[in-house]
A = this chain, B = another copy of it.
Amino acid sequence: MEIAVQTANPYTVYVERGAAKRLDELCLGYHKVCLVVDQNVYDLYSEELPSLTSETYTFVLPSGESNKNLTQYARLLSYLAANRFDRKDALVALGGGVTGDLTGFAAATYMRGIDWIGVPTTLLSMVDSSVGGKTAVDLAEGKNLVGAFWQPKAVLIDPDYLVSLPEAERKNGMGEVIKYACLMGGDAGKAILAGELPTDRLIAACVQYKADVVKQDELDKGVRATLNLGHTLGHAIEQLSAYSVPHGTAVAMGLGIVARSAYDKGRLNKRDFEAIEIALEELCVPQVPYTIPQLCRQALHDKKVEGSTLHLIDIFGLGDCRIVDIPADRLEDYLC
């Protein structure tokens, strides 16, 4: 299946078994290609890395969020420079969100911008981070604080990679999938929440939804914020746990709290609430180990300005999620 992402520089996301085999053809126009490969992926697939006609270089990135930093970014840039990459060459990100975010940022800034192609290998990166052009690395002070908007030239989503994905990673990805199901609503959203869609169609539905939102708001100045459903509290959970709760799981937890609050306060009907609850139960999302006041304090930690407002994404029904502006000192009341 081919999904068009109509950004200023449009591109295609291919979602299909064997999609990774398209890589060689897509790279024919480049003289040199650097495959940036996550260490875990390299260990699993070193014998069957994509074989390219173009002159190919392989750069192995240590696994894990802690390596999505300026040190690894600098290492990659120096590797490209030492191998005399120029504006007509390209990068390929083969791995999960860390690999995609860092490779995309290197592509955005090497010689002020070269092409890159994403080949996500985790469910989380297939349904979310590989599409939309948000590239970044972390600072010690916080996640994704440095980056650029830089769309890939193509994204190849090959569900065959999921065969080697640990179950915990699949569940992590499902946190974002449930978020997309709530955002899209309709038959597809309900089918996802009920666990009725096969993986490839589920991925395609999420990507199609994201592509539609990104088309309307590529630079994240408006409606794209709705994709942060579950993220305000999810980020607080990640931070309070010192990132021991993975991103997708934290988003599922945050979404659960927002949905429960919306139901308790009469903003969300029982049928939709129960559909979300069932999906989260299926995931066995652990109990949130923090109270709502703790989460609110953490979420507001950066909002010291008096009178500031917080933009919460609230759920009024499947397919009806909206940005709600809440005065910072009213967040706890709003949720409890």
Question: Is there contact, CB below 8 Å, between B145 and A77?
Answer: yes
Question: Is there contact, CB below 8 Å, between A145 and B108?
Answer: no
How far is it, in angstroms, between the C-alpha of A31 and the C-alpha of B105 when the chains are bound? 27
Question: Is there contact, CB below 8 Å, between B112 and A81?
Answer: no
B-contact 0/1 string along A65-91, CB 8 Å cutoff:
000001001100110011010100000
How far is it, in angstroms, between the C-alpha of A134 and the C-alpha of B113 when the chains are bound? 12
Beta-carbon nearest neighbor of A147 in chain B: B112
How far is it, in angstroms, between the C-alpha of A147 and the C-alpha of B112 when the chains are bound? 5
A316 on the B face (CB < 8 A): no
Question: Is there contact, CB below 8 Å, between A81 and B139?
Answer: yes
A11 on the B face (CB < 8 A): no
Beta-carbon nearest neighbor of A8 in chain B: B8
Tally of A interface residues using CB under 8 Å: 32
A149 on the B face (CB < 8 A): yes
Instruction: Give every chain B residue within 8 A of A78 (Cβ-Cβ).
Output: 139-141
Whether A146 touches B110, Cβ cut-off 8 Å, given contacts A78-B139, A139-B81, is: yes
A251 on the B face (CB < 8 A): no
Beta-carbon nearest neighbor of A111 in chain B: B145
Minimum distance in angstroms from A277 CB to a CB of chain B: 35
A305 on the B face (CB < 8 A): yes
Instruction: Give every chain B residue within 8 A of A46 (Cβ-Cβ).
Output: none
How far is it, in angstroms, between the C-alpha of A147 and the C-alpha of B109 when the chains are bound? 5
The contact of A84 among B86, B134, B302, by CB within 8 Å, is B302
Question: Is there contact, CB below 8 Å, between B148 and A113?
Answer: yes
Question: Is there contact, CB below 8 Å, between B113 and A149?
Answer: yes
Instruction: Give every chain B residue within 8 A of A77 (Cβ-Cβ).
Output: 70, 139, 145-146
Known: A84-B304, A113-B149. 7 other contacts (CB 8 A): A70-B70, A70-B73, A77-B139, A109-B146, A110-B146, A112-B149, A113-B148
Interface residues of A (CB under 8 A from B): 31, 70, 73-74, 77-78, 81-82, 84, 86, 105, 108-113, 134, 136, 139-142, 145-149, 220, 302, 304-305
